[in-house]
């Protein structure tokens, strides 16, 4: 903002400009129209008159009178309201209304989607895939209260749990791995 100015030295035009900037900040029309079209639900506790008043109030910031191509505007807004991606909306809301048509919105969405995909692949491709450690128990009765295996052959080990019994007799045969399903 800079250093404070002496109000007595300002011209009336400068005061008007300052007040307009403070009281009527520039709005991003694309974002205002998104909010207008995206929030059109009537609340159960509101009357029809209250709904109409809210719509009129919300429309005041949308600058609908400046629309030059109504079909392109309708397509663009419907597309923007349909794509639920924060990355896409952040990119779109940076573009001024006069530079954003339906084709440009689609292009920005595709670029945002591609960039997010590349970023995800880059982040997750650089990490090694986790490997589960498999531990074999030497003690036949490693679990408390577990009965001794039916098999008496000490050389026979279950491939599921590592204990000495035949795989079909394993208590783990109907279990599901919590790591890899």
Residues in the chain: 181
133 Cβ neighbours under 8 A, 6+ residues apart: none
| Per-residue pLDDT at 97 | 81
| Per-residue pLDDT at 151 | 46
Which tokens is 151 given? 């098999």
**Domain regions of the chain by residue span:** 12-125
Please tell me the distance from the alpha carbon of residue 166 to that of residue 151, in angstroms, as a whole number. Answer: 7
Calculate the average pLDDT of the chain: 77
Give per-residue pLDDT as tens, 36-73: 887 777 778 888 888 888 888 888 888 888 889 999 98
The pLDDT-based confidence of 116 (bands split at 50, 70, 90) is: confident
52 Cβ neighbours under 8 A, 6+ residues apart: none
Please tell me the distance from the alpha carbon of residue 157 to that of residue 4, in angstroms, as a whole number. Answer: 84
Higher-confidence residue of 178 and 170: namely 170
| Per-residue pLDDT at 140 | 56
Instruction: State the burial class of residue 105 (Cβ atoms within 10 Å of its Cβ: 0-12, 13-18, 19+).
Output: buried
Q: Chain centroid to CA 132: how far?
A: 30
DSSP 37-77: HH--PPPTTS-HHHHHHHHHHHHTTS-GGG-S-HHHHHHHH
Please tell me the distance from the alpha carbon of residue 1 to that of residue 51, in angstroms, as a whole number. Answer: 39
Give per-residue pLDDT as tens, 6-25: 777 888 888 888 777 777 66
Question: Cβ(136)–Cβ(157) under 8 Å?
Answer: yes
Give per-residue pLDDT as tens, 120-136: 888 877 666 666 667 76
Q: Which residue has the tokens 């990355």?
A: 87
Please tell me the distance from the alpha carbon of residue 87 to that of residue 32, in angstroms, as a whole number. Answer: 18
| Per-residue pLDDT at 177 | 64
């Amino acid at each position: 903002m800079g250093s404070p100015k002496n109000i007595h030295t300002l011209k009336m035009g400068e005061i008007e400009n300052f007040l307009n900037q403070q009281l009527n900040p520039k709005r991003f029309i694309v974002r205002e129209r998104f909010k207008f079209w995206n929030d059109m639900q009537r609340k159960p506790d509101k009357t029809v008159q209250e709904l109409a008043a809210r719509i009129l109030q919300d429309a005041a910031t949308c600058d609908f009178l400046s629309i030059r191509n109504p079909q392109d505007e309708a397509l663009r807004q419907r597309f923007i309201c349909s794509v639920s991606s924060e990355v896409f909306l952040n990119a779109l809301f940076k573009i001024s209304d006069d530079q954003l048509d339906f084709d440009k919105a689609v292009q920005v969405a595709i670029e945002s989607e591609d960039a997010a995909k590349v970023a995800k692949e880059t982040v997750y491709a650089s990490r090694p895939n986790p490997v589960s450690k498999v531990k074999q128990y030497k003690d036949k009765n490693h679990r408390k209260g577990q009965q001794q295996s039916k098999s008496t052959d000490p050389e026979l080990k279950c491939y599921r749990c590592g204990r000495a019994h035949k795989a079909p007799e394993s208590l783990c045969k109907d279990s599901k791995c919590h790591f890899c399903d």
